[in-house]
Structure 1
Amino acid sequence: MVCIRCKMIVKQELKKLSLNYVNVELGEIEIMEKVSPAQLEELSVALLKYGLELMDDRKSILIEKIKKVIVELIHYSDEPEKINFSDYLSEKLNHNYTYLANLFSETVGINIEHYIIMHKIERVKELLVYDELSLTEISYKLHYSSVAHLSNQFKKITGLTPSHFKKLKESRCNGIVNPQ
């Protein structure tokens, strides 16, 4: 569960099952009362309809926590200074980074660094679409060493330069506003 809509779906399904929750966060649910195996199964089936699944093994939960920390940091945080992701993850999750990195790679099939890059590029796309910041400002906001570094990484992941991506977005909008 790594998006706001996912949280809304989980809350809705908990309410349908009359399960009172203390907290529903990205990747975590804290339920007030003891949940029976039948209720757990019912919740699991309901969530699967939305492509969500309950996890109860420690490694899967830790993987989701890694994803959650990365998503929150890149998409919902305004960290003022450049941070070291490995130190940040270790501190947030109280685990050695090497352990986290190995577990993530084995389970997810890509390394943490690539996962971070993919999310940073998704964030760049969002910011380009919003058109409120220049590429230099986006580069600074997402802690790239330079605009060139951001542009190279963007092209490597998307196959497009940031300016070409922005032009595609603008041409789509123009086509919608002025259909001819």
Structure 2
Amino acid sequence: MVSLRCKMVVRQELQKLGLHYVNVDLGTIEVLEDITDLQKELLDINLKKFGLELLDDTRKILIEKIKAVIIEMIHYSDELPKVNYSDYISEKLGYDYNYLASTFSEVKGVTIQQFIIMNKIERVKELLLYDELNLTEISYRLNFSSVAHLSNQFKKVTGLTPTYFKKLKKKRFKNLEDL
């Protein structure tokens, strides 16, 4: 669960099942009473209707927490942390980074660093589409060492330069105006 909407859905589904929750947070639910197998099954079925999943496996839960910290850090923060991402993630989750990194890589098949880069590039795309910031400002906001570094990472991930990506957007809008 990353968004407020996801948390709201989980709260509603818990209430429908008559379960009283203490806390609904990123990847965790604390309820006051014991959950029966039937309630657990119904909760899982109902959450799947909203694209959510009830996780029992502690490794999967940890992976979701790692993803949530990264997504929150990149997509929902005005400014990225000035410390190393590894220190930030480790501190947020209370685990040794080497353990987090090896678990993440083993389960997801990509490194945490690759996942961060993919999310940063998605954020760059969003910011380019909004057209409010130039590449220098985007580079600074997302802690790239330079515009050249941002451009190289962008091209590695998307196969396009940021400038060409932006031109494609303008071309798409221009074609819509022709209709």
TM over 0.5: yes
Q: Which amino acid is 1:70 matched to? A: I
TM value normalised by structure 1: 0.89
* Aligned residue number for residue 79 of structure 1: 79
Distance change >3 Å, CA 164–CA 89, structure 1 → 2: same
Per-residue CA deviations over 1:116-160 (Å, capped at 9, x if unaligned) read: 000000110111111111110000000000000000000110011
Per-residue CA deviations over 1:12-42 (Å, capped at 9, x if unaligned) read: 4334434444443343333344322211100
RMSD, aligned α-carbons: 1.9
What aligned pairs does 1:1-180 form with structure 2 within 5 A after superposition? 1-79=1-79, 82-176=82-176, 178-180=177-179
Aligned length: 179
TM value normalised by structure 2: 0.89
Percent identical among aligned pairs is: 63
Instruction: Give structure 2 stretches of 5+ with no counterpart.
Output: none
Distance change >3 Å, CA 43–CA 116, structure 1 → 2: same
Q: Which amino acid is 1:91 matched to? A: E
In structure 1, what is the Cα distance between the partners aligned to 2:18 and 2:132? 43
Deviates more, 1:8-17 or 1:33-42: 8-17
Instruction: Give structure 1 stretches of 5+ with no counterpart.
Output: none
Deviates more, 1:31-40 or 1:103-112: 31-40
Q: Residue 168 of structure 1: CA displacement?
A: 1.0
